Chains A and B, each alone.
Chain A
């Protein structure tokens, strides 16, 4: 072997150049690995990784018997991705029938809806085919099986599954689940090239169980709607309460709307959002307090002659001179003079306190969007006329639900309860506000209203019931009372034996000559009570 004598400096220079280049390249490759702040790695991840929301299903709203009031339906929608070709379209057309033409799809750079709500068979056919460039996406829609019967209470949620009205709105965070998030890898065209990796799974929303009984709700709504149409009234509400459990069984409001119609025009929940001066329907409350304080007993005489009373230059009058009435007959005959005298007997402080104890002017414990709760006149040094007004239900305003809750005190042996709308509500306020005997005495008076007084039309054949009519004038701005606008109401307890139900109905602005509680609200009460009692399986007492 010969010696390498041609290894000269020129060759040496070239070798040095090559080695230096290798070192430079190698250094650079290493340097790119330790790039500052992970610039390249982050840039790469932004480019490679995409995220997708996994929609969560909204909880169902049930009534007390697990009948759904609001349910989420799952739909599978077919979308064309960016490079969906005419070939793909033809393939798809061979698999399923589609209404969209290819021209509508072939818009570039977008995800285009091809077909809404695929059937399960179609989904399988598409998934088994060789079709590409499509995506099937889950969509949830909300359906309300009871539609207008309960719409003002349950409300509705919008397209994005966000509660917009009623219970759907106030319990939105409870009902809505948490959307999940998935990560996947994509190529430059944005096509998914990996299986989705779940970052956090979707959590379905909670189901909500209302205390509503959809059958009773149906009776209440149907009879209310009929009564309002019949009397050409503007609106109205009917509430059915279960006294012993403190639960709301029905809360109908009319006019209503169909929440399943995308063009719905929401109507307000009259039971929780209306407020007005209740009028005579509250007379038993003042009397109850007077009996409770032993200022008068249920059968004690009280002189209401000459049929009117003058206080602070205002005159309060009955429609006729009742003469000397037994205390309960003030309720039976709905005597303004008698109620005024009872109120004056109690004095301002007592009567205001009593109303407050019966729940008036206090926020209600129901989770509903902006419920109303009215106010009470409780200024210092009230004049006699103001005290008298409070005695027969003016000088304060309240929502129908508040009136119904207050009335339930007589059925609950003197205990004021907060009524709940949701099953197993944890904390519900309860307080003994009048004695049990007093409550019984008032029930006796309320029964007399039906037997002999203004509430004869509320009579339910075969059942003992008690109740009180009310006809209040609508107050208008600027003080005073509008002459021709009335709210007719009736609050009753049925049956008197078990004192299970409190039913309150009110009809706002009846259009005919018959406008009093006794004439139009009492029959409505009777219809609802009759249906409800029959449905609940009460035996007629005869």
Chain B
């Protein structure tokens, strides 16, 4: 079973990263040409990120999971500091009206992505440490306050998508670790209410939600992204227009290589491409969850929760992204794991898989 998980994880990881690099190359070619004059600008950079990712991937393979359990607070501290650093003028880089990046020489770091990582580690560690009191109100409130702080920091970038993902993952881990149904319901209600407030009192989010209802009504305005994503998907049929033949990537679809890369993928590879993508994800999630269950069975609770959190994060982020692309959810700035262009995103995702692989292989010795 360990062997099988290794195989599945490796196949799905290599498959997704390859598919991602191909799609980034294809979808960014005109955008890159238009912005920089080099059509392979984003493709080369993505290849470079993957190269860096392989080093970090290897590093996490070598780190014992018990070390992560001991230092989870450190990761959390770093990521909160990074999030706070965004508020310092001159450090945060503004892109499209939101401050999400920290520029360190040639590298841009997205603290919110790092935060996903540390929140999974910390929540899992907390659940293990307070296994007994997790279903009580006090034990439940502590991680909630932390979540509130992190959410506040990320929301002020503003980045509702990542906030929602982190909330979802934390709640899922807590739920998995054994909070009561009442707590769970309360949590969902609370987050839902906060989400409503965040949307309703922020004009640009409200227009996004309104345009999501009928993107073609406001096609030239707020509905532009979603309508063009739908147009692209609508051209596809079973086999798509063929790799490289997307029309929508000709500057019609903004963010064709990041948030809306799925639309280009469907347009070029068709429903078969969707099946391929979902199969690769399913294979990966299956292996991760299998590792999680196995760890729990071995009483390695931290490892189990971490693996579960990672699996849930990847699946929920992928599902959110797809749902946005096909118009089931309003537009949010969420990347498609392993596929979308973005350095921090791909490196964090690769680290996740490295951690799961490490946990899986550690299970051999228990």
A33 and B293 in contact (CB under 8 A), knowing A2-B298, A43-B216?
Answer: no
Most chain A CB inside 10 Å of its own CB: which residue of B233, B247, B285, B296: B247
Q: Are B297 and A30 neighbours in the complex by a CB distance under 8 Å?
A: no
Cβ of B312 within 8 Å of any chain A Cβ, yes or no, is yes
Cβ of B243 within 8 Å of any chain A Cβ, yes or no, is no
Q: Are B231 and A4 neighbours in the complex by a CB distance under 8 Å?
A: no
* Residues of chain B having any CB pair with chain A under 8 Å: 1, 30, 172, 175-176, 178, 216, 227, 230-237, 247-248, 250-252, 266, 271, 274, 278, 282, 285, 289, 293-294, 296-298, 304, 308, 312, 315, 319, 322-323, 326-328
A4 and B294 in contact (CB under 8 A), knowing A24-B328, A40-B233?
Answer: yes
Q: Are B233 and A5 neighbours in the complex by a CB distance under 8 Å?
A: no
Question: How far is the CB of B183 from the nearest CB of chain A, in Å?
Answer: 13
Chain A positions 1 through 16: 1 when the CB is less than 8 Å from some CB of chain B, otherwise 0: 1111111001100110
Tell me which residues across on chain A come within 8 A of B323, comparing CB atoms.
21, 24-25
Q: Are A3 and B297 neighbours in the complex by a CB distance under 8 Å?
A: yes
A189 and B234 in contact (CB under 8 A), knowing A25-B322, A28-B326?
Answer: no
Q: Which of B176, B271, B322, B328 contacts A10 (CB 8 A)?
A: B176
Q: Which of B293, B298, B319 contacts A11 (CB 8 A)?
A: B293
Q: Are A6 and B274 neighbours in the complex by a CB distance under 8 Å?
A: no
Q: Are A32 and B250 neighbours in the complex by a CB distance under 8 Å?
A: no
A44 and B247 in contact (CB under 8 A), knowing A1-B1, A14-B312, A22-B319?
Answer: yes
Within 8 A of B (CB), among A29-68: 29-30, 32-33, 35, 39-41, 43-44, 47-48
Q: Are B176 and A193 neighbours in the complex by a CB distance under 8 Å?
A: no
Q: Are B328 and A25 neighbours in the complex by a CB distance under 8 Å?
A: yes
Question: How far is the CB of B285 from the nearest CB of chain A, in Å?
Answer: 7
Most chain B CB inside 10 Å of its own CB: which residue of A10, A41, A193: A10
Cβ of A188 within 8 Å of any chain B Cβ, yes or no, is yes
A188 and B176 in contact (CB under 8 A), knowing A26-B274, A40-B233, A44-B235?
Answer: no
Q: Which of A18, A39, A44, A48 contacts B285 (CB 8 A)?
A: A18
CA distance A496 to B319 in the complex (A): 102
Tell me which residues across on chain A come within 8 A of B235, comparing CB atoms.
40-41, 44
A28 and B251 in contact (CB under 8 A), knowing A2-B298, A35-B234?
Answer: no
A187 and B30 in contact (CB under 8 A), knowing A1-B1, A21-B319?
Answer: yes
CA distance A44 to B267 in the complex (A): 11
Question: How far is the CB of B294 from the nearest CB of chain A, in Å?
Answer: 7
Cβ of A140 within 8 Å of any chain B Cβ, yes or no, is no
A29 and B266 in contact (CB under 8 A), knowing A3-B297, A14-B312?
Answer: yes
Q: Are B247 and A26 neighbours in the complex by a CB distance under 8 Å?
A: no
Of all chain B residues, the one with the shortest Cβ separation from A22 is B278
Tell me which residues across on chain B come within 8 A of A444, comparing CB atoms.
none
Q: Are A47 and B326 neighbours in the complex by a CB distance under 8 Å?
A: no
Of all chain A residues, the one with the shortest Cβ separation from B228 is A47
Q: Which of B250, B289, B293, B296 contacts A188 (CB 8 A)?
A: B250
Cβ of A76 within 8 Å of any chain B Cβ, yes or no, is no
CA distance A24 to B274 in the complex (A): 13
Q: Are B234 and A41 neighbours in the complex by a CB distance under 8 Å?
A: yes
Closest 6 CB pairs of A and B: A40-B234, A187-B250, A188-B251, A6-B296, A44-B231, A48-B247
Cβ of A308 within 8 Å of any chain B Cβ, yes or no, is no
Question: How far is the CB of A47 from the nearest CB of chain B, in Å?
Answer: 6
Of all chain B residues, the one with the shortest Cβ separation from A30 is B271
Tell me which residues across on chain B come within 8 A of A48, comparing CB atoms.
247, 250, 252
Tell me which residues across on chain A come within 8 A of B278, comparing CB atoms.
22, 25-26
Tell me which residues across on chain B come within 8 A of A11, comparing CB atoms.
176, 289, 293, 308
A4 and B176 in contact (CB under 8 A), knowing A29-B274, A48-B247, A187-B251?
Answer: no
CA distance A33 to B234 in the complex (A): 5
Of all chain B residues, the one with the shortest Cβ separation from A48 is B247
Most chain B CB inside 10 Å of its own CB: which residue of A1, A7, A15, A44: A44
Q: Which of B175, B176, B231 contacts A40 (CB 8 A)?
A: B231
Q: DSSP majority for the A interface?
A: helix
A to B CB contacts below 8 Å, 6 in the list: A14-B176, A32-B230, A35-B234, A44-B235, A48-B250, A187-B250
Q: Are A193 and B230 neighbours in the complex by a CB distance under 8 Å?
A: no
Most chain B CB inside 10 Å of its own CB: which residue of A10, A32, A43, A47: A32
A193 and B175 in contact (CB under 8 A), knowing A32-B230, A47-B231?
Answer: no
Most chain B CB inside 10 Å of its own CB: which residue of A15, A28, A189: A28
Q: Are A33 and B271 neighbours in the complex by a CB distance under 8 Å?
A: yes
Of all chain B residues, the one with the shortest Cβ separation from A2 is B297
Tell me which residues across on chain A come within 8 A of B312, comparing CB atoms.
14
Q: Are B252 and A188 neighbours in the complex by a CB distance under 8 Å?
A: yes
A44 and B248 in contact (CB under 8 A), knowing A25-B319, A30-B271?
Answer: yes
Of all chain B residues, the one with the shortest Cβ separation from A186 is B250
CA distance A25 to B266 in the complex (A): 12
Of all chain A residues, the one with the shortest Cβ separation from B253 is A188
Q: Are B233 and A10 neighbours in the complex by a CB distance under 8 Å?
A: no
Cβ of A185 within 8 Å of any chain B Cβ, yes or no, is yes
Within 8 A of B (CB), among A304-363: none
Question: How far is the CB of B138 from the nearest CB of chain A, in Å?
Answer: 22
Q: Are B297 and A5 neighbours in the complex by a CB distance under 8 Å?
A: yes
CA distance A33 to B270 in the complex (A): 9
Most chain B CB inside 10 Å of its own CB: which residue of A15, A26, A33: A33
CA distance A2 to B297 in the complex (A): 7
Q: Are A189 and B319 neighbours in the complex by a CB distance under 8 Å?
A: no
Question: How far is the CB of A241 from the nearest CB of chain B, in Å?
Answer: 65
CA distance A25 to B271 in the complex (A): 12
A32 and B285 in contact (CB under 8 A), knowing A7-B293, A187-B30?
Answer: no
Tell me which residues across on chain A come within 8 A of B266, comparing CB atoms.
29
Tell me which residues across on chain A come within 8 A of B1, comparing CB atoms.
1
Question: How far is the CB of B161 from the nearest CB of chain A, in Å?
Answer: 16
CA distance A24 to B329 in the complex (A): 12
Question: How far is the CB of B340 from the nearest CB of chain A, in Å?
Answer: 16
CA distance A24 to B271 in the complex (A): 14
Q: Which of A3, A7, A18, A35 contacts B315 (CB 8 A)?
A: A18
A193 and B250 in contact (CB under 8 A), knowing A6-B296, A28-B328, A29-B266?
Answer: yes
Tell me which residues across on chain A come within 8 A of B231, comparing CB atoms.
40, 43-44, 47
Within 8 A of B (CB), among A89-108: none
Of all chain B residues, the one with the shortest Cβ separation from A7 is B293
Chain A positions 164 through 202: 1 when the CB is less than 8 Å from some CB of chain B, otherwise 0: 000000000000000000000111110001000000000
Question: How far is the CB of A31 from the nearest CB of chain B, in Å?
Answer: 9
Q: Are A10 and B296 neighbours in the complex by a CB distance under 8 Å?
A: no
CA distance A187 to B298 in the complex (A): 57
CA distance A26 to B270 in the complex (A): 12
CA distance A5 to B296 in the complex (A): 9
Q: Which of A28, A39, A187 contacts B252 (CB 8 A)?
A: A187
Tell me which residues across on chain B come within 8 A of A10, comparing CB atoms.
175-176, 178
CA distance A5 to B298 in the complex (A): 10
